[in-house]
């Protein structure tokens, strides 16, 4: 799993650590969606948002340096104004995208098509997802 934490001379710090032979510990292992909400399971347990507190979920494409490689992530907005950005390198990412779209009654987005198109696409809003 890759976690983008910033760049040094156009190379992510995680990549630099790997190139230097350091052990890079996973920060987040997997994302999952269930009847209760959207969750991230990692080394410190499970965190996330219940459906009743989710305002909307969007699928976005970020261009990563140095060559603007497209990178997908889910942007999950909470009613408090907080948000989660769940990247495509998380285990369970495609399944989570499918589960959110199906819950919202929307077509499941084609990940490769979104990657090529760029930008952001709304997958669901509170009136179709939240409590």
pLDDT value at position 65? 85
Q: How many CB atoms lie within 10 A of CB 94?
A: 13
Domain membership of residue 9 (yes or no) is no
DSSP E strands: which ranges in 2-127? 7-8, 11-12, 28-34, 37-42, 45-50, 54-64, 69-78, 83-87, 120-125
Domain membership of residue 74 (yes or no) is yes
Asked if 128 contacts 105 with a C-beta cutoff of 8 angstroms, the reply is yes
Domain membership of residue 5 (yes or no) is no
Domain membership of residue 49 (yes or no) is yes
Alpha-carbon distance values, 39 to 47, 48, 54, 100 (Å): 6, 4, 12, 12
The structure's pTM equals 0.72
Domain membership of residue 42 (yes or no) is yes
Examine the pLDDT at 93 and tell me if it is beyond 70.
yes
Give per-residue pLDDT as tens, 100-125. 999 999 988 888 888 888 888 888 77
Domain count across the chain:
1
Domain membership of residue 20 (yes or no) is no
Domain membership of residue 89 (yes or no) is yes
Per the structure, the complete domain to which residue 63 belongs is given by 28-125
Domain membership of residue 8 (yes or no) is no
């Amino acid at each position: 799993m890759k976690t983008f934490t910033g760049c040094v001379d156009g190379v992510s710090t995680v990549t630099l650590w790997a190139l230097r032979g350091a052990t890079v510990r996973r920060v987040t292992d997997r994302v999952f969606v269930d009847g209760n909400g959207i969750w991230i399971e990692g080394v410190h347990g499970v965190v996330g948002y219940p459906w009743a507190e989710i305002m909307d979920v969007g699928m976005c494409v970020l261009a990563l340096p140095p060559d603007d490689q497209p990178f997908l992530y889910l942007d999950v907005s909470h009613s408090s104004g907080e948000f989660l950005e769940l990247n495509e390198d998380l285990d369970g990412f495609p399944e989570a995208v499918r589960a959110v779209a199906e819950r919202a009654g929307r077509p499941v987005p084609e990940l490769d098509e979104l990657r090529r198109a760029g930008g952001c696409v709304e997958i669901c809003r509170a009136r179709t997802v939240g409590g």
